[in-house]
Amino acid sequence: MPTSALRLARFTGRLLLALGAVAGLVVVFLALIVLTNGAGSGLAAWSTTLGAATVAALWRGRRRPRPARLALFLPVVVAAALTASVCIPTVPTARRYPPDLPFVATQHWSLTTGSRVAVYHYPPANTGARHPIPLVYLNGGPVRSISVLDHRFLQLLAQQGYDVYAYEQAGGGRSDLLPMDQYTISRSVQDLAAFIDRLGMGKADILGSSAGAVVLTRALADPDLAAHFHRAVIAEPGPMDGPTARITGHKGRESARGLAPAVTGPRSTHVPRYATAFGLMRLGLLTPDTGLIGQAEGDNAFTAADLGSDTASAYCARDAHRIPAEDTAQNFSFSPAASIRIKQTIEDSPSIAPQLRLSRTPAMLMIAECSSQIRQWETTVLANDPAIQRTQYMPGVGHHMWNGLDDNDERACAAITAFLQDEPAPLPNFPTRDDIPAFLGDNR
């Protein structure tokens, strides 16, 4: 073999060994991150990995000439630099709240539960009849700011004469953070009860969407709390309890997931620190209260682009190339750790079906044609809540039913207001409880 080829082969071999050593150290570092739950912003794992690698390099190089000994430290230095990027915050570690919206005042209410939540009020417009019962909106998330699109829909409801109130659940948007162990689905239900009490206007109509619909469903299973509800609208609910969360099945008609153009904008998941933290949390390898990143830092880092195809999944396939901007960068806020924590408490909760079967609050279920939710999550609510008086299967929309496209907002508004006023529904009452087997069998 020519000398040059031999040198190239040796160099390639050494390079591959060095890269393998770097990769091995990174794997060890990540394993230690998991084992220590990210203690000390990851520095416990980093210092242990670096210390062990340094000792190993010294031991291997004890009888080698100086250049060879130094070469052994090159993978250690490279791995130390790569893994150090996981330990260094790139956003403020104290909570940075979104600025106030220009079109609605932000109030802050302290609830008896200890939560301090951001509240928005849209008084009834000065047109037509005003409705005496306030309407409270529970947004999805579960720990997320109310989007600008949702605010526009709330304005539309106010234009129909409704006195509309909305609040961002504890930890979401402009609401104050909670200690991580206080984020539970039970706390979310208690906050709703405390909000209705703080409102002080007697009974209220409740509109819950997505995760907000889960809070509402569980509240309907509590007779003491449900006694304060006039009517309830359950829109696109997620799983209501642990047994429901474990149900598998099909979703609605094809959504825009995988069809819509890639979301643009900065992503925290392009930063090693947050890609590691959020990725390991999503896999269940780090707990929501991980020491790798604090709750406030995670909230500050997470961007709308990080949701990726989750946003597209809330729209029908036919709308893939005209998905509206749901929010502004200034208003968007999402708490990944708190959201994971609440979802875990839902998955760990026992069945609420026996309690829900005793519900007496008049309710309506709204189901989207292109829903990204498991259909059985929705039909389980229908099957177990005898007080659901009508179901509205909304054609042409996805999980985000009021989205500013075409007349979607007006159609959703018409279905909601007709039910709240006990007027004839604009759509057939479908599916009913008796229709559930056929509805699921048709893969609707």
Instruction: Please give the average per-residue pLDDT across 37-45, as a whole number.
Output: 95
Residues 318, 187 within the same domain: yes
- Evaluate whether residue 246 is within a structural domain: yes
Q: Please give the structure tokens belonging to residue 262.
A: 């890639």
Residues 115, 251 within the same domain: yes
Compute the mean pLDDT over every residue in the chain, rounded to the nearest whole number.
92
Position 58 scores a pLDDT of: 76
Question: In this model, does residue 301 exceed pLDDT 80?
Answer: yes
Question: In whole angstroms, what is the distance from residue 87 CA to residue 103 CA?
Answer: 39
Residues 38, 166 within the same domain: no
Question: In this model, does residue 444 exceed pLDDT 80?
Answer: no
Q: In angstroms, what is the C-alpha Rg of the chain?
A: 26
Whether the CB-CB separation of 375 and 441 falls below 8 Å is answered with: no
Whether the CB-CB separation of 69 and 61 falls below 8 Å is answered with: yes
Question: In whole angstroms, what is the distance from residue 151 CA to residue 154 CA?
Answer: 5
Residues 76, 127 within the same domain: no
Mean pLDDT is lowest, of 110-124, 228-242, 297-311, 379-393, for 297-311
Looking at the chain, the whole-number percentage of residues with pLDDT higher than 70 is 93
Question: In whole angstroms, what is the distance from residue 311 CA to residue 129 CA?
Answer: 36
With cut-offs at 50, 70 and 90, classify the pLDDT of residue 61: low
CB count, 10 Å around CB of 128?
Answer: 10
Question: In whole angstroms, what is the distance from residue 141 CA to residue 119 CA?
Answer: 16
Question: In this model, does residue 6 exceed pLDDT 70?
Answer: no
- Evaluate whether residue 98 is within a structural domain: no
With cut-offs at 50, 70 and 90, classify the pLDDT of residue 260: very high
Whether the CB-CB separation of 251 and 443 falls below 8 Å is answered with: no
- Evaluate whether residue 102 is within a structural domain: no
CB count, 10 Å around CB of 134?
Answer: 21
- Evaluate whether residue 95 is within a structural domain: no
Tally the domains of the chain: 2
- Evaluate whether residue 94 is within a structural domain: no
Residues 339, 245 within the same domain: yes
Position 244 scores a pLDDT of: 97
CA distances to 33, 156, 172, 239 from 147, in Å: 34, 14, 11, 22
- Evaluate whether residue 90 is within a structural domain: no
Q: Which is more confident, 406 or 62? A: 406
Whether the CB-CB separation of 407 and 214 falls below 8 Å is answered with: no
Question: In this model, does residue 16 exceed pLDDT 80?
Answer: no
Question: In this model, does residue 115 exceed pLDDT 70?
Answer: yes
Question: In this model, does residue 15 exceed pLDDT 60?
Answer: no
306-322 per-position pLDDT tens digit = 987 889 999 999 999 99
Question: In whole angstroms, what is the distance from residue 348 CA to residue 295 CA?
Answer: 22
Phi/psi for 115 (5° steps) reads -80, 145
3-state SS, 149-196, equals HHHHHHHHHHHCCCCEEEEECCCCCCCCCCCHHHCCHHHHHHHHHHHH
Position 64 scores a pLDDT of: 66
314-354 per-position pLDDT tens digit = 999 999 999 999 999 999 999 999 999 999 999 999 999 99
DSSP string covering 245-314: HT-----SS-BSTTTSPPPPS--GGGSHHHHHHHHHHHTTSS-TT-SSS-HHHHHHH--GGGGTHHHHTT
Phi/psi for 442 (5° steps) reads -85, 0
Looking at the chain, the whole-number percentage of residues with pLDDT higher than 90 is 80
With cut-offs at 50, 70 and 90, classify the pLDDT of residue 383: very high
Question: In this model, does residue 253 exceed pLDDT 70?
Answer: yes
Print the domain residue range for 170.
107-441
Edge-first strand order for the sheet with 164-168 is: 107-110, 116-122, 164-168, 135-138, 204-209, 229-235, 363-370, 388-398
Mean pLDDT is lowest, of 127-136, 194-203, 369-378, 387-396, for 127-136
Residues 31, 175 within the same domain: no
Q: Please give the structure tokens belonging to residue 383.
A: 């099957």
Question: In whole angstroms, what is the distance from residue 362 CA to residue 357 CA?
Answer: 13
How long is the chain? 444
Question: In this model, does residue 177 exceed pLDDT 90?
Answer: yes
131-175 per-position pLDDT tens digit = 899 999 999 989 999 999 999 999 999 999 999 999 999 999 999
Residues 223, 322 within the same domain: yes
Residues 189, 45 within the same domain: no
Distance between start and end Cα atoms, the chain: 68
Question: In this model, does residue 1 exceed pLDDT 70?
Answer: no
Q: Which is more confident, 339 or 441? A: 339
Q: Which is more confident, 20 or 45? A: 45
- Give the DSSP H or E segment for 98: none
Position 98 scores a pLDDT of: 96
Q: Please give the structure tokens belonging to residue 384.
A: 């177990």
Residues 303, 399 within the same domain: yes
Question: In whole angstroms, what is the distance from residue 234 CA to residue 388 CA?
Answer: 9
With cut-offs at 50, 70 and 90, classify the pLDDT of residue 74: confident
Position 160 scores a pLDDT of: 94
User: Longest Cα pair distance anywhere in the chain, in angstroms?
Assistant: 94
Choosing from 84, 119, 148, the residue where a domain stops is 84
CB count, 10 Å around CB of 23?
Answer: 13
- Evaluate whether residue 132 is within a structural domain: yes
Question: In whole angstroms, what is the distance from residue 212 CA to residue 393 CA?
Answer: 19
Q: Which is more confident, 219 or 69? A: 219
Q: Which of 37, 6, 26 lies closest to 81, judged by CA?
A: 26
Kindly report the CATH number assigned to the domain that includes residue 410. 3.40.50.1820
With cut-offs at 50, 70 and 90, classify the pLDDT of residue 25: confident
Choosing from 84, 99, 126, the residue where a domain stops is 84
Residues 300, 389 within the same domain: yes
Question: In this model, does residue 277 exceed pLDDT 60?
Answer: yes
Collapsing DSSP states into helix, strand and coil, what is residue 231? strand
Residues 159, 67 within the same domain: no
Residues 176, 55 within the same domain: no
- Evaluate whether residue 303 is within a structural domain: yes
